[in-house]
């Protein structure tokens, strides 16, 4: 199974239209799209950030529906609303598992405190949430979070590791196959099973072959 994975687009619709191009025109087609949070931006026009993000969300939903293949998403710490959309193809996987082919895609969208957003929780709360999710995790799980696991692709410009220790603990205990996340733009890349797919409002994404555990970085 091949997926196109991105996060941290932050409402840049030129990048979302590029994503459409990748899905429709790539020589190696993908089976699904995975979005790992920070989907929206919401600045300008004298609207509240929630109102502006709701307007962006409506536009984004239209783009996702046009892709014509499964889209699995979680929100991120800079998303101040929920996308609040689901159909047969476009689905939130926050705290639930969705089967595609031979794999189970399981999501979790809360991050440790960072910017004070609605999708942040204290680490003890994250640990409790993930403990409840662990029965759904196994070696065929593709675990999609916004936050990195502590110590993997999670270093800020100040040299601080901001990933979640609880995410790391669950991944190690349950031996999930792949971990896809975003959040820290400068750490885009792969480390073992951890794939940081943060676009950071740049034209970059990953095509990941889950069975072969291979990936290709896509840029424009």
Residue 209's CB is within 10 A of a number of other CB atoms, namely: 15
Which residues are paired to 206 by β-bridges?
5, 217
Sketch out the chain's domains with CATH numbers: 2-219 (3.60.21.10)
Q: What is the pLDDT of residues 49-101, one digit of tens each?
A: 999 999 999 999 999 999 999 999 999 999 999 999 999 999 999 999 999 99
- Assign 47 a pLDDT band (cuts: 50, 70, 90): confident
What are the residues whose beta carbons fall under 8 Å from the beta carbon of 22, sequence distance 6 or more? Answer: 4, 30, 205, 218
Torsion, Cα 164 199 206 74, to 10 degrees, reads: 50
Q: Which residue has the tokens 């993000």?
A: 53
DSSP line for 14-61:
HHHHHHHHHHHH-SS--SEEEEES-------TT--HHHHHHHHHHHHH
Element (H, E) at 63: helix 49-66
Predicted TM-score (pTM) of this structure: 0.97
Beta bridge partners of 196: 181, 189
């Amino acid at each position: 199974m091949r997926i196109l994975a991105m996060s941290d687009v932050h409402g840049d619709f030129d990048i979302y239209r590029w994503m459409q191009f990748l899905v429709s025109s790539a020589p190696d087609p993908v089976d699904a799209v995975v979005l790992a949070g920070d989907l929206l931006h919401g600045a300008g026009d004298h609207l509240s950030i929630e109102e502006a993000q709701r307007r962006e969300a409506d536009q984004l939903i239209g783009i996702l529906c046009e892709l014509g293949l499964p889209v699995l998403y979680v929100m991120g710490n800079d998303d101040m609303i929920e996308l609040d959309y689901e159909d047969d193809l476009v689905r939130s996987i926050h705290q639930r598992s969705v089967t595609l082919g031979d794999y189970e895609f399981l999501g979790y969208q809360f991050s440790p405190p960072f910017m004070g957003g609605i999708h942040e929780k204290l680490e003890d709360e994250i640990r409790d949430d993930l403990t409840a999710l662990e029965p759904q995790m196994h070696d065929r799980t593709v675990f999609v979070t916004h936050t990195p696991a502590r110590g993997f692709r999670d270093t800020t410009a100040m040299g601080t590791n901001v990933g979640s220790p609880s995410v790391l603990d669950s991944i190690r205990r349950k031996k999930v196959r792949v971990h896809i996340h975003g959040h820290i733009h400068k750490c885009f890349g792969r480390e073992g099973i951890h794939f940081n797919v943060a676009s950071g409002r740049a034209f970059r994404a990953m095509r990941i072959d889950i069975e072969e555990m291979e990936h290709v970085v896509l840029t424009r």
